[in-house]
Amino acid sequence: MYNALSGAAAELSDREHALLERFSDRGGVSASEVMTNLAPINDLFTGGYLVPVALDEPKRVLEERLYWRDNRDHLDLTIAPTLGCNFRCTYCFQHRSNLSFSEDDRIHLVRFYNEVIGAGTKSVVVHWYGGEPTLRIDDIRQLTPPLLALRERFGFKFLSEIYTNAWELDEATCESLSGECAVSTLMISLDGPRDIHDKMRRGPGGIGCFDEIMKRVALCLRFFHVKLRIHCHTGNDGRIEELLDHLHALGLTDLAKEYGKTLYLHFSKLYDFSEACKHVKQIRIPHEEWGRLQGEYMEYAQALGFRVNWLPKRVIGKYCNAQRKYAYIVAPRGYIYKCYREDFFAPESSVGKITDKVLPDVVVPGQDATDRSECQDCYYLPICSGFCPSSSWAESPCTHLKGNLNTRLLGLWKQRQAGIEESANIE
């Protein structure tokens, strides 16, 4: 069993199953039976399988989402110091431009910090984005200390991460980013085994980069937690396991343990987000297949010892930054955007500027799952959060979790059964 609200997964004993069946009959358990079964009843209650009769769970989820839409205690700030990139990935959805922060942009951004951070701020999460943010390492060095000074003043929790192709990272740069820039996590993308990766993800001069990126991943694990984002499409379907075998052979999980870091794998399919990458539609994995495939990849990765989010994680307050008023993406020229998929070169896609006297207090678009009855009645709402609220680019407005949750739960059950059999053989 899996509970989408509590996130609990359980294999019920015969006793627990019988109790759950009795409770589902509305009052089928007597007071004396309750008193003699308090332990399993408590477990069922803790996991969310039993709830008070008066509790309206869908209403609770919707109220929570509306609360986080307006919450100003937790700031999510994405900073794109440049739209320039040293790579030419064939599927990139951003407008290719060398536009970068000016001195005025940096000055205004520091002022913006002081507008959106104050005594009530409890957490600040910063994502360095682009373009390729490490091309502007000096911007990161200049723009981080003012944030750390505000943390010292107000005492909020601070987290900083970078989305990077890792090409510019050497030991000195890693030391600087992890030290004075307080970066704790890197996200690096891979596009399949060497031949596929090098065809789709071209480094400087148009050369393949797979082997060099692998060296940099190993280096980065000395300094950072690393998320490897593995892009999946019809061109590498059937070869993801080959990539995972190679990563395993490199000993990356052992290296992460040696340095006390986390290596996490995330499987993401390619989307045709914008006009710049509309050709991706030709290799996009069909929506109805993606959930199952993702579940199978995760199962294989976990069997090799990699860390994955094996069951969907309900992340309270972080369902979509475009649907949070207190989340901003700041691009060159000081324009503010709400979604990563926007063209940061196009002012008409922005919601304002960091120099505005009145900061944008909007969500984009103005509708989400709190407004759609079909989502309110769905068991998956607590973990999918209504999927993407601006899903005009998607084949379906519904979550792929409906395709992979069964795969993932069955995978856990298989592991459980294998563990039982192995234990029996040992005995």
Cβ-proximal residues to 386 (8 Å cutoff; 6+ apart), any chain: 319, 368, 369, 370, 372, 375
Residue 215, token pair as written in the block? 């060296």
In a domain, 117, yes or no: yes
142 in the same domain as 10:
no
pLDDT per residue as tens, the chain (427 positions) = 888 888 888 888 999 998 888 888 766 678 888 889 999 999 999 999 998 888 888 888 888 888 888 889 999 999 999 999 999 888 887 767 889 999 999 999 999 999 999 999 999 999 999 999 999 999 999 999 999 999 999 999 999 999 999 999 999 999 999 999 999 999 999 999 999 999 988 888 777 789 999 999 999 999 999 999 999 999 998 899 999 999 999 999 999 999 999 999 999 988 877 666 777 888 889 888 888 899 899 989 988 999 998 777 776 656 677 888 899 999 999 999 998 888 898 899 899 999 998 888 888 776 666 666 777 778 888 887 777 766 545 567 677 777 788 888 888 888 788 876 655 544 4
Q: Do 140 and 173 touch, CB atoms closer than 8 A?
A: no
Using left for φ > 0, alpha for ψ between -120 and 50, and beta otherwise, residue 166 falls in left
Residues 18 and 149 in one domain: no
CA distance 158 to 148: 8
Same domain, 94 and 131: yes
For residues 73 and 122, is the Cβ–Cβ distance under 8 A?
A: yes
Residues 122, 5 share a domain: no
Please give the backbone phi and psi of residue 82, each rounded to the nearest 5 degrees, phi first.
-155, 150
What distance in Å separates the CA atoms of residue 131 and residue 164, rounded to the nearest whole number? 9
Domain final residue pick, 323, 350, 375: 323
Task: Look at residue 294 and tell me if it is in a domain.
Answer: yes
Q: Looking at 307, 323, 339, which one is the last position of a domain?
A: 323
Q: Does residue 235 form part of some domain?
A: yes
- Of 323, 358, 376, the position where a domain reaches its end is 323
Domain of residue 154: give its range: 65-323
Do both 11 and 109 map to the same domain?
no
CATH number at residue 205: 3.20.20.70
Domains in the chain, number: 2
Residue 228: strand pairing partners: 188, 265
Q: Based on the domain organization, do 47 and 141 belong to the same domain?
A: no
Q: Indicate the pairing of strand 352-353 with strand 335-337.
A: antiparallel
- Is there a single domain that holds both residue 145 and residue 202? yes
**Does residue 147 belong to any structural domain of this protein?**
yes
Task: Tell me if 407 is assigned to some domain.
Answer: no
Tokens coding 337: 């955007």
51 and 112 fall within a common domain: no
Closest Cα to residue 131, out of 81, 59, 199, 63?
A: 81
In a shared domain, residues 47 and 98: no
Q: Are residues 221 and 171 in the same domain?
A: yes
Q: Could you tell me if residue 412 is inside a domain?
A: no
- Residue 315: strand, helix, or coil: coil
